[in-house]
Amino acid sequence: MAFNLFKKEENEHSADVKTARAAILKKIKTELQKAEGGEGKNIIGIELFIAAPDSEKHVYEAAVYADYPGKLRDEIQKIADDYALGLPVSWALDVSYTAELPPEASQVKGTVAAMFIRTKDNSIKKSATAYIVILNGEAEKKMYQLNSNDGKVNIGRDSNVQVAGGFFRLNQIAFPGDSKNEVNKYISRQHAHIEWSNENGSFMLYADEGGIPPGNKIKVKTTANETLNKLSSIQVGHRLEEGDQVILGEGAVIAFSYKEPQGKKK
């Protein structure tokens, strides 16, 4: 009986290896298709981060072919070739085992892995358009369009507010303080901001100083892992991904998407 149980565990680990590898390759393919509009000539490398506990590390080592250098890169290259992504011959793959996943990396759903695509600095102009839809709470608009050349897009209570030092801050995504919607009062005047990052090739969300502590201001439910993540620092941003829902304060909710919502007016 003990022998049978041992064999069952082996089979389960084998299935876990396949599942982890499939998830990693699927995520890499998705990110490569998004990077630079699916043209990968400016990509210099893919960084894969794994934050597995000791009990699972051997599963992920097998998933990334740790004993067969170059094999995972070959599989990624085949994906790139199949989808005509145009990766340069010199691109590099780096696999790192870390205690925590870097915040700038994009998590692989259902795993303890995350990835990041590196491109030639300042070699291209990256750009994107995205949309913020108000799901709960009352803002001045139901939907906001974001462009990568907008700079900081501030989020807060009221559109024009006086802050420390006597200066005024303009909140482009503004939740009126005199609204009858209860959740508006839990949004601070300097709540958060969104800005485009050329380095990450994405929009980043940051908690701002002022009012309640950053850790109590923002929670994000991301499609990558279906969990709630708190923004605990004003220095560390969250890389916004398709379908992310952001809770501001005690109940205002906004949704992020690269796809223009149908039937929504600005």
Mean pLDDT of 177-202: 87
Query: Residue 224 has what pLDDT?
Result: 57
Q: What is the pLDDT, as a whole number, of residue 231?
A: 72
pLDDT tens track for 217-250:
888 887 655 667 777 666 677 888 888 999 898 8
**Nearest alpha-carbon partner for 221 in 200, 195, 243:** 243
- Take residue 244 and report the two structure tokens written for it: 């992310």
pLDDT of residue 2 exceeding 50: no
In the three-class reduction of DSSP (H, G, I as helix; E, B as strand; rest coil), residue 72 is classed as helix
Domain locations in the chain as residue ranges: 2-119, 129-257
pLDDT band at 213 (very low <50, low <70, confident <90, very high): low
The string of pLDDT tens digits covering residues 37-86 is 555 677 888 999 999 998 999 999 999 999 998 999 999 999 989 888 88
Buried b (16+ CB within 10 A) or exposed e, 187-204: bbbbbbbbbbeeebbbbb
CATH number of 129-257: 2.60.200.20
Across the range 151-164, mean pLDDT stands at 88
- Indicate if the pLDDT at residue 5 is higher than 70: no
pLDDT of 225: 57
Give which of 253, 198, 245, 243 is closest to 30, Cα–Cα: 243
**Predicted local confidence at residue 163, as pLDDT:** 76
Q: What is the C-alpha R_g of the chain? A: 21
3-state class (DSSP) for residue 145: strand
Strands annotated E in 71-214: 92-97, 106-107, 113-119, 129-136, 143-147, 153-157, 160-162, 168-170, 173-175, 192-197, 202-207
From residue 63, how far is each of 109, 147, 166 by CA, in Å?
15, 38, 56
Q: How far is CA 236 from the centre of its chain?
A: 12
